[in-house]
Structure 1
Amino acid sequence: MDIDETKDRLYYVLEHLDAASRERNFQAFLEDPEWLDLKERTEKNGPLHENIDIVYMKNAPFFQIK
């Protein structure tokens, strides 16, 4: 949960081998037929979000380097 409880935020943390794979993976997600169908059905009455922020992070000490 976000420390600022006045915000209604959902965070996804994803790992990618490099920037190129990150871009390929995200594009594949955006074009995925199952995702597109689900998005269409759940947003019949309007979008479920106000905005999407994308944040790129470096490896943090609490992540295990594989």
Structure 2
Amino acid sequence: MKVSDRGGWGALLEETRRAVDVLSEGRSRRIEKIRSALRDGTYRVDGRQVAGKMVSDAVRELRDRLR
């Protein structure tokens, strides 16, 4: 890295930190929403989504094993 590039890297690092903060805040809100629903007994799971995820994970794992 050149000395003149340090300013650009600093700006990129700061922008990355801001993006992580925004993502972390959103994730924290989603987690709290789920916790609240679990406490209230209102949390619902879509069985089709769970089954789809299980199948796609199994297919991915099989493909990885065959490589």
Give the TM-score normalised by structure 2. Answer: 0.28
Larger Rg: 2
Which has the bigger relative contact order, CA under 8 A and spacing at least 6? 2
